[in-house]
Chain A
Amino acid sequence: MLLNNKRKILANSKRKIFGIIIALSIGAMIIALFLAILNVANIIPLSAKSTSPDIIHLVIMSTIQALLSTLLSLMVGIMLAWALNRLEFFGRKIIIALFASAIVTPGIVIALGLIDVWGREGIISDFLQIFGIDWDFSIFGLFGILFAHTILNGAFAATILLARLDAIAAQKLKIAQSLALSPLKRFLLLDLPAIKNTIPALGAIIFLLAFTSFPIVLMLGGGPSNQTLEVAIYSAVRLSFDLKLAVQLSVVQLILCLLIIMPAIIFNQDHIRAGISSNHRWQENGFSKFMQITILIVGIFVFMLPIISILLNLFSMEFFTLVLRPSFWRATITSLTLGASSAILTLFIAIIISQAKIALHGKISKALIALPLYVYLIIPALVLSLGFYILARQLQISNSIIAPFVLILGNALLALPFAVAVLAPSLEAINKRYNKLLSSLNLSSLSRWRFVEWPLLGREIGIVLALAFSFSLGDLGIISLFGTNEFTTLPWAMFQASGAYRNNDAGIIGAILLLIIFAVFLALPVIFRKFSNVRS
């Protein structure tokens, strides 16, 4: 028994060490990127007179917008997850996959889909016109930004929270059912404790996404009064090439965001008693069922209409011309290869970090190891791209050779916080649930993974892979300095087309991207669940 305990402690400390090493190297890389930029900034003379922007105003605007976006997204997420957990209906899995994919779809694609629906000449306006009603609604302004962010992030939050609700142990549900808990009591006593642990990290991610959101904020913001710090950083690089200012502003953004999300990450209730996905479903009746159906119908309506309008692009005349172009296939193959590679890398790092996070004791150390994950979400892609570019030059590696590696690594790092948010709670639940069993078994870290964790985590692993894969498909920012003609991805091709009047081509590529993302979100969790169970 003593020996076994030692073994377990050894396995745990191995996990801690691996995790700390990975977290430190991720942190070290961001410092290297900053230093590389600053190093060059000292050599290059200032190109133009840069006047420091009104940072305080931008910071206040961004913070308000991001906080509101986070609150709304979490509320919508909890409501949708609640409804989806209670209801059983045909197509439930498809709806969940669609919701999960929201966050990785290129934001501009969704925003343009929203315009198709809610715009001046959108579907709703056309519909009301039939009855002679004028649609006098403008989506532009703070409202539009919040609307788009809530749709993108709320649907994602719903799928993450739903996984926690679905994981409430069947025995617990049966006891509660026999006690005839009211819907409200059931939510407070069973649901809330199950999701409480997930909300802080989820909220932190959504906050960062909203804070650093740039094209959507500018597109729907309705003018410079609604803006983010990102635009100032962008301007420092683009217009005045003031690299020092760009790094300074990035550091301001970094510190500010970390300060805001830090309490959320540290605040972690350690009382999960949830298991892993149970199949017991306990439906409710009466008023709460009515509410659940209403929430779901509104959610599907608001979320699906823009998606459908994007997919309608596939029925365009230019579809075959586009698909027959060899450059389209080159871009597709490049995108799929990059997506698959960074998905595997993300999963690998996410497992190590999640295991270490669970092995570590104390809220502060748990939070510290998670911290480097968030950094890449906070630093603007343009600055990351610049840093990687300069670093590659200093190491004297040719651009065309390093470009794929930068893309894979960069995108993997971007997907990492989402991956850990999906993986860590389930992993923790497993470790808590089988704590005694694990202590009594003589298992090394690797065999604990092989025989206990992996067989139970199939679905989560599928989601992580789908998330990371789609993230790299949808990202543009990091490649912006590296892009050459031999190296094109699908999002790049979309950007290229829409920059040259070819909105039809861009629309078709956007729709194809969406289809790929749906397919991956639908298939991977199921495949991995089966795959991991077979081996157990």
Chain B
Amino acid sequence: MFSKYFLSLILVLLSFGALAQEKPTLNIYTYDSFAADWGPGPKLKEKFEQNCNCTINLIAASNSISSLRKIQLEGEQTKADILLGIDTSIAAQALETGLFIKHEIDVSDINIPNGWSSDYFVPFDYGYFAFVYNKEKLKNPPTSFDDLIKQDIKIIVQDPRSSTPGLGLVLWIKSIYKEQAKQVWSELKPKIVTMTKGWSESYNLFLKGEADMVLSYTTSPAYHKIVEDDDRFEFAQFEKGHYLQIEVGVIVKSSKNQKLAKQFLVWLISKEAQEIIPTTNWMYPVANIELPKGFMEQEKPKVALLIDEKIVFENSEAWILEMLDAFK
């Protein structure tokens, strides 16, 4: 049984090798839910392969930061051609490694709040961090952090050291409150039921009714509407704005398929590819396409907050410590 399994594994690997000689393979390092059956990966792969005379190979790690770490460990020998799915809070770290090259793609048309100008990173979707609630249970959702602190509301958030939205919340509060951030954290403390390792535990606890609101995305309610036909969920619109998460792709310096990699990224921001994103990755598209109905029921946040990636790079550890300090 076991040796059979291995034999077939080796045969599969060999057949990959044989294919590779006929047409080029584009290796894309990405995160797990991007490459999952129901994620955007398989659909994007199928569409792109129709015209490129190439094979797309999606290699997933448990999250996008792990994919970056893999490329760092593999250095020049990495087989990755593209790193897809890291966000702006980690982008400056990726740049610092010197393992990536400029994209030379025209990104001026890209539809992202506050615009886009990076020479290295090509954004392919974005979202805002937000607190999601059940409107049947919470009648007066807060409209700001100050309002949240005043109300008798319980929230669930994620640990910034192990979770992307968790770090997003640290940056969100910092971008609004600057020097008062620590003060805000200590006032938020009694509202926080718990701080989980990842987003999935938080969201699960929220759905089980353990808190009034959960730190998630403005696009979460759309999932419930479109997939589950459940319109109880909304996000709390904060007047002072929501922090942006922009997911980007970047070409690896050592790649031998840089032309093909660029071709893929250009296609990724085209309307054809962007049509796939909203209902598979549950984020907003960067091309001007019509959004599915479930995304339109609540207005997008009016103010988009984003701290410059270099400043994030220099300070995020200190800001996390500041937050932890407030909990002592």
**With an 8 A cutoff between CB atoms, is B175 at the interface?**
no
> Residue A9 at the B interface, CB < 8 A?
no
Pick the residue among B161, B203, B313 that contacts A501 (CB under 8 A). B203
B297 to chain A, nearest CB (A): 17
User: Could you say which of A121, A238, A327 contacts B37, with CB atoms under 8 Å apart?
Assistant: A327
Q: Considering only CB atoms, which chain B residue lies closest to A37 in the complex?
A: B73
Segment of A98-106, A250-258, A476-484 engaged in the interface with chain B: A476-484
Given the known inter-chain contacts A140-B193, A501-B203, A503-B204, please indicate yes or no for A481 contacting B61, CB distance below 8 A.
Answer: yes
Among A41-49, A71-79, A87-95, A361-369, the stretch in contact with B: A41-49
B187 interface residue, CB < 8 Å from A?
no
Within 8 A of B (CB), among A53-92: 53-54, 57
Number of interface residues of B (CB under 8 A): 70
Asked if A495 is an interface residue, CB under 8 A from chain B, the answer is yes
Complex contact B327–A224 (CB within 8 A): yes
> Roughly how many angstroms separate A234 CA and B159 CA in the complex, as a whole number?
11
- Docked-complex contact A400 and B13, CB < 8 angstroms: yes
> Chain A residues near B73 (CB, 8 Å)?
40, 44, 389-390, 393
Q: Are B194 and A223 in contact (CB under 8 A)?
A: yes
- Are A485 and B195 within 8 A (Cβ)? no
Judging by beta carbons under 8 Å apart, are A337 and B5 in contact? yes
Partner of B93, one of A47, A340, A401, A481: A47
Which residue of chain B is the closest to A382 with respect to CB atoms? B66
Decide if the interface of chain B is mainly helix, strand, loop or mixed. helix
When chains A and B are docked, how far (Å) is the Cα of A49 from the Cα of B205?
Answer: 33
> Does A277 belong to the interface (CB within 8 Å)?
no
Docked-complex contact B204 and A498, CB < 8 angstroms: yes
Which residues in A have their C-beta under 8 angstroms from that of B193?
138, 140, 222
Whether A112 contacts B36 by the Cβ 8 Å rule is no
**B197 & A215 in contact (Cβ 8 Å cutoff):** yes
Q: How far is the CB of B234 from chain A (nearest CB, A)?
A: 15
B74 to A, closest residue via Cβ: A393
Q: Closest CB-CB distance, B185 to chain A, in whole Å?
A: 10
- Contact across chains for A496 and B33 when beta carbons are under 8 A apart: yes
Complex Cα spacing A179 to B263, Å: 88
* Cβ contact within 8 Å between A51 and B209: no
Tell me if B60 and A223 are in contact (CB < 8 A). no
A480 partner residues in chain B, CB cutoff 8 A: 61-62, 66
B239 neighbours in A (Cβ, 8 Å): none
User: Which residues of A from 1 to 51 have beta carbons under 8 Å from B?
Assistant: 40, 43-45, 47-51
Q: Which of B194, B197, B207, B210 is close to A120, meaning CB atoms less than 8 Å apart?
A: B210
- Which residues in B have their C-beta under 8 angstroms from that of A47? 72, 93, 96-97
Q: Which one, B110-118, B120-128, B142-150, B317-325, is touching chain A? A: B317-325
- Identity of the chain B residue whose Cβ is nearest the Cβ of A398 in the assembled complex: B13
Bound-complex Cα distance A496 to B34 (A): 10
Taking CB atoms and an 8 Å cut-off, the chain A residues in 99-122 that contact chain B are 108, 112, 115-116, 119-122
Q: Nearest chain-B residue to A218 (Cβ)?
A: B197
For residue B267, CB closer than 8 A to chain A, the reply is no
Q: Does B18 contact A (CB under 8 A)?
A: no
Q: Chain A interface (Cβ within 8 Å of chain B)?
A: 40, 43-45, 47-51, 53-54, 57, 108, 112, 115-116, 119-122, 138, 140, 214-215, 218-225, 231-232, 234-235, 237-241, 325, 327, 337, 340-341, 389-390, 393, 398, 400-401, 404, 480-481, 483-486, 495-496, 498-503, 506
Closest 6 interchain pairs by CB? A121-B209, A235-B161, A498-B200, A500-B33, A218-B197, A224-B327
26 residue pairs of the A-B complex, CB under 8 angstroms, read A43-B75, A48-B316, A49-B318, A51-B317, A115-B205, A138-B193, A215-B198, A221-B194, A221-B195, A224-B323, A231-B159, A238-B69, A239-B161, A325-B37, A327-B37, A398-B13, A481-B61, A481-B62, A483-B32, A484-B59, A485-B60, A499-B33, A500-B36, A500-B39, A501-B220, A502-B38
Further contacts, 16 of them, CB under 8 A, given A218-B196, A238-B162: A43-B75, A49-B314, A116-B208, A218-B162, A218-B195, A218-B197, A218-B201, A221-B195, A225-B327, A231-B159, A231-B161, A231-B162, A235-B320, A398-B13, A483-B32, A485-B60
